[in-house]
Structure 1
Amino acid sequence: MPLPDNTRLHAYTPDDLADVRQLHALAFRVLAAGHHDAAQIAAHEDLIAAAAYAADLARSNLVLARHDTDGLIATAGWLALEDRPHTARIRKVFVHPAWARRGLARALVQAAEQAAARAGYPNLYVRANVNAVPLYLALGYRTEAHGIMPAGSAELPVVYMTKPAS
């Protein structure tokens, strides 16, 4: 799926940190609200604001989608999994609520999948927030297990999903 007009992709740099934090917090607060309570959303925002989040972003092969007038509108990345040979974990998939359901998440996840495959990681894994499960199912992922992601003072329900190399 093509990106919207006037949108460009670029790799994450530390200069993007404030924008990424703002987007991730907003996207989760708005788009995941139907699946999480206020305490879970606040705990997730605390994770995003934590100092360790910057290092996590830097190691995530993160790609950002910027619109000429709206700024940062989406992110997605991947990380090699040490415990699963030839497997990348898709991560940090967030879309600005004003741009949701227009194919951005699909386009960025597919770009992350392709980048991971080019780097030697054709098998894919995701720890999906429950609100994102339909996206991953539509992209060919299969549920492996249900679980909990610790988020400081709260726990978030997640679904572990895999997609074998095609």
Structure 2
Amino acid sequence: MTETGEAVIVRRNVAKENSNQLGTSNDPENEPESETESKEIRLTLMEEVLLLGLKDREGYLSFWNDNVCYGLRGCILVELGLRNRIGLEPCGMRRKNVSSRNIVVKKYVPTGDSLLDEALKHINERKPLNTETWINYLSGETWNPVNLPLQLRNVRERIAKNLVENAFV
């Protein structure tokens, strides 16, 4: 191992020992105020993308912007991944690339967000599929009528309603 690699390991170990000696724990009471303040005003990834896509003067998204539709569905999958509800299957011996690996449910526990819970329910009820396929199914872009019930409807409106209810807009 190189000298810099050993230095990094030593620094990590020293940092762990210092935190243990100081008696820090994972209690919410011991957290710095800046972290607790950020938790109070935490937006989901979908809400952040929707706010970025709003026209400043008009206050609405372009109705014809299909990229926002796919982007929001992708954000739903990313948010579920960040909350440790879904993940990618292991790459295995063949070393599949990320885009061809399937999405699997890690924990089927409600998140408290209706959109995320609905998407998690759909993913849990189906066989594992890759990310691109799930984005197409959730956006309703499929020629197979059997998969149309997987479409998440009124996503923009539901996200905007959450923003209004939480007094962000």
Structure number with larger C-alpha Rg:
2
Task: Give the number of the structure whose residues are more often strand, by fraction.
Answer: 1
TM-score range, shorter chain: under 0.3
Q: Per chain length, whose mean CA-contact separation is higher, i.e. which structure has more relative contact order (CA < 8 Å, sep 6+)?
A: 1
Query: TM-score by structure 1 length?
Result: 0.27
| Higher helix content, 1 or 2 | 2
Scaled by the length of structure 2, what TM-score is found? 0.26
